[in-house]
C-alpha cells in the first residue's frame, strides 16, 4: 500500500534553540526589562565582542540596519559610490540606496565565490582615472566563506577607502585564524531566523573604532542628544535591539561552536554521499580560512547530472524538502538596472547552476538521507539523453 501521509517538511536552515536562551529571557522578564535596551543588550554586546574579537559593538534590529548604520557612520551620502559584491543578499546593499549613494558591483572569484580582488583592483584604478574614488567597499562572506579581506584591504589602503565586512552569514567562520569580520573598518552580523544563530531577528555592528560604535549607538536610538528633554540635532533611526531578543542571543552565542560543528557534519555527509555523482560539484573552500558552512551549496552541471538545478529543486519541493537557488546577483536585479558592474559572468553562472541544500543544524541522519535519496532519484526520474 502506498504511504500517502504527508512527510515532515525539511527546511533550509530553521532556528535551533539550545536550551539556555530561556534562562536569559526569564532574567529579562524577572527584572521587568521588557524594553529595548537594558542589561541583556549590554551583556550580549560585551559577550559578542569577546567571542569575535572586535572591541566595540552595538546590537540592532537587523543585519540590514547594522549595514545602514555602518554606511552612515562612514559618511556615505548622495554624491558617493560604494563598491559591493554582486553575489550577495539584498540587505548587504539596499542601505547604499537608503543613503542615496550609487552601488558598483564586482563579480565573484570562481575559486571562492566572493568578490574577485583582481576585478576590484581594476575598478578602483578606473575610478582613480575618472577622479572619483568610492567612499567604501563592502565585502560579503558568502555562505560563510570569508572574502580575501587582507588582499582587499591592501588594494583599498593607498586611497584610504574603508572596507566594511558583511559577515552576516559567517559568524563562526575564520580567516587566517581570525573571526570573520576582524580587520575590517566595520563588520556586520545578522541574527535573522535562518542564520547560524538567531535572536528571531537582529544584527550587530562591530568595529575597533570606538567612535564609529558610539555614533552608531546614538543614531540607533533616534539620535537623542544628551539632554533631559528630547533634543535632536540629527535624524536617527529606531534600530535598537530589544532586551528580550538580546537574552535569546546570549544563549545562542554560547552554543555557536556547537552549531558550527553541526553544519560541518552536514556538509561532510553531503560531500561523502554526493561527490561521486557526475555533475555535482561542491562550493570550494578557500585555503586562507575555515567556513562555518552555514549552507551546503552545490553546483549542478545538467549535461552530466541529467537534470538541471530547477528540476532538482522542484523535485525536492515535491518531497516537501526546501532548497534554494544561489542568490540572484545584484546586477541582474531590476532595481539595480543601469548600475555599473565589473565582470558578472561568474556569479551569473553560480546563480544559474547553484543550489543551497537543507542545512539546519538540528537535521538528523534520516533527514539527510531523505534529501540525498531524493537527489539521487531525480536522475532516474528526469534523466535525459
Ligand X SMILES: *Cc1c(COP(=O)(O)O)cnc(C)c1O
Which C-beta is closer to ligand X: that of 104 or that of 127?
104
Taking the C-alpha atoms of residue 179 and residue 296, their distance in angstroms, rounded to an integer, is: 20
Assess 179 for contact with ligand X (CB under 6 A): no
Contact code string over 243-282 relative to ligand X, x by CB under 6 A: ----------------------------------------
- Report if residue 237 touches ligand X, rule: CB under 6 A: no
CB burial string 329-358: b at 16+ within 10 A, e below: bbbeeeebeebbbbbbebbbbbbbbbbbbb
Which C-beta is closer to ligand X: that of 179 or that of 192? 192
Sign of CA dihedral 172, 43, 59, 14: positive
Instruction: Give yes or no for residue 165 binding ligand X (CB under 6 A).
Output: no
Please tell me whether residue 140 binds ligand X under the rule CB under 6 A.
Answer: yes
Residue from 112, 179, 190, 207 in contact with ligand X (CB under 6 A):
190
Between CA 299 and CA 302 the distance in angstroms is 9
In this chain, which of 13, 56, 62, 323 binds ligand X, going by CB under 6 A? 62
Minimal CB distance residue for ligand X: 63
Nearest in space to 124 (alpha carbons), one of 112, 114, 136: 136
Least spacing, CB of residue 171 vs ligand X, in Å? 11
Task: Indicate which single residue of 40, 86, 88, 165 sits in contact with ligand X (rule: CB under 6 A).
Answer: 88
Q: Which stretch binds ligand X (CB under 6 A): 33-41, 120-128, 166-174, 314-322?
A: 166-174
Q: Residue holding cell 537582529? A: 202
Q: Which range touches ligand X (CB under 6 A), out of 44-52, 164-172, 231-239, 242-250?
A: 164-172
Q: Which is nearer to ligand X, 127 or 196 (CB)?
A: 196
CA gap 299, 311 in Å, rounded: 13
**Of the candidates 15, 36, 38, 91, which one interacts with ligand X according to CB under 6 A?**
91
CB of 146 to ligand X, least distance (A): 12
How many residues of this chain bind ligand X (CB under 6 A)?
14
169 binds ligand X (CB under 6 A): yes
Query: Quick check: 144 and 179 in contact, CB under 8 A?
Result: no
Q: State which residue, 90 or 372, has the beta carbon closest to ligand X.
A: 90
Distance of CA 36 to the CA centre of its chain: 24
CB of 53 to ligand X, least distance (A): 20
Q: Which of 203, 251, 329, 354 binds ligand X (CB under 6 A)?
A: 203
Angle at CA of residue 364, ends 360 and 369, nearest 5°: 100
By CB under 6 A, tell whether 136 contacts ligand X: no
Q: By C-alpha distance, which of 45, 53, 50, 258 is closest to 176?
A: 53
Q: Which residues contact 42 (CB under 8 A, 6 or more apart)?
A: none
215 touching ligand X, by CB under 6 A: no
Pairwise CA distance, residues 357 & 289, whole Å: 22
Cα(23)–Cα(17) distance, integer angstroms: 12
287: three-class secondary structure by DSSP: coil
Pick from 13, 40, 56, 92: which binds ligand X (CB under 6 A)?
Answer: 92
Segment interacting with ligand X (CB under 6 A) among 24-32, 83-91, 279-287, 310-318: 83-91
Nearer to ligand X, 89 or 215 (CB): 89
Asked whether the beta carbons of 101 and 80 are under 8 A apart, the reply is: yes
Residue 89 interacts with ligand X (CB under 6 A): yes or no: yes
For β-strands 136-140 and 203-207, DSSP reports them as: unpaired
C-alpha cell of residue 189? 552580523
Q: Are 262 and 18 in contact (CB under 8 A)?
A: no
Report the Cα–Cα distance between both ends of the chain, in Å, rounded. Answer: 33
Q: What is the DSSP letter of 141?
A: -
The answer to the question of residue 168 lying near ligand X (CB under 6 A) is yes
114 near ligand X (CB under 6 A): no
Candidates 63, 103, 162, 358: give the one binding ligand X (CB under 6 A).
Answer: 63
Report the residue number, 115 or 378, with the smaller CB distance to ligand X.
115
Residues that bind ligand X in the complex, under the rule CB under 6 A: 62-64, 88-89, 91-92, 140, 166, 168-169, 190, 192, 203
Amino acid at each position: 500500500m502506498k504511504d500517502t501521509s504527508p512527510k515532515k517538511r525539511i527546511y533550509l536552515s530553521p532556528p535551533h534553540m539550545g536550551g539556555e536562551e530561556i534562562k536569559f529571557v526569564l532574567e529579562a522578564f524577572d527584572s521587568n526589562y521588557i524594553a529595548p535596551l537594558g542589561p541583556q543588550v549590554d551583556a550580549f554586546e560585551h559577550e559578542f565582542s569577546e567571542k569575535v574579537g572586535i572591541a566595540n559593538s552595538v546590537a540592532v534590529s537587523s543585519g540590514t540596519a547594522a549595514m545602514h548604520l555602518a554606511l552612515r557612520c562612514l559618511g556615505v551620502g548622495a554624491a558617493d559610490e560604494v563598491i559591493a559584491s554582486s553575489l550577495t543578499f539584498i540587505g548587504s546593499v539596499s542601505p547604499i540606496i537608503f543613503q542615496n549613494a550609487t552601488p558598483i558591483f564586482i563579480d565573484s572569484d570562481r575559486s571562492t565565490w566572493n568578490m574577485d580582488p583582481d576585478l576590484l583592483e581594476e575598478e578602483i584604478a578606473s575610478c582613480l582615472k575618472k577622479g572619483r574614488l568610492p567612499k567604501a567597499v563592502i565585502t560579503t562572506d558568502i555562505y560563510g566563506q570569508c572574502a580575501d579581506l587582507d588582499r582587499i584591504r591592501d588594494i583599498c589602503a593607498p586611497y584610504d577607502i574603508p572596507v566594511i565586512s558583511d559577515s552576516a552569514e559567517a559568524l563562526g567562520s575564520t580567516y587566517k585564524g581570525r573571526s570573520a569580520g576582524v580587520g575590517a573598518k566595520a563588520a556586520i552580523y545578522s541574527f535573522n531566523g535562518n542564520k547560524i544563530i538567531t535572536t528571531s531577528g537582529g544584527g550587530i555592528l562591530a568595529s575597533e573604532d570606538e567612535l564609529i560604535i558610539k555614533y552608531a549607538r546614538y543614531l540607533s536610538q533616534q539620535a537623542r542628544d544628551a539632554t533631559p528633554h528630547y533634543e535632536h540635532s540629527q535624524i536617527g533611526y529606531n534600530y535598537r535591539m530589544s532586551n528580550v531578543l538580546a537574552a535569546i542571543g546570549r544563549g545562542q552565542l554560547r552554543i555557536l561552536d556547537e552549531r558550527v560543528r553541526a553544519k560541518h557534519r552536514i556538509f561532510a555527509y553531503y560531500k561523502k554521499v554526493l561527490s561521486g555523482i557526475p555533475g555535482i560539484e561542491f562550493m570550494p573552500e578557500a585555503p586562507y580560512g575555515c567556513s562555518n558552512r552555514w549552507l551546503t551549496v552545490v553546483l549542478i552541471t545538467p549535461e552530466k547530472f541529467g537534470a538541471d538545478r530547477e528540476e532538482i529543486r522542484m523535485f525536492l519541493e515535491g518531497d516537501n524538502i526546501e532548497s534554494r537557488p544561489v542568490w540572484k546577483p545584484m546586477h541582474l536585479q531590476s532595481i539595480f538596472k543601469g548600475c555599473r558592474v565589473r565582470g558578472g559572468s561568474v556569479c551569473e553562472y553560480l546563480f544559474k547552476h547553484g543550489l543551497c541544500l537543507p542545512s539546519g543544524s538540528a537535521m538528523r541522519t534520516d533527514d539527510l538521507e531523505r534529501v540525498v535519496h531524493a537527489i539521487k532519484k531525480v536522475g532516474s526520474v528526469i534523466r535525459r539523453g
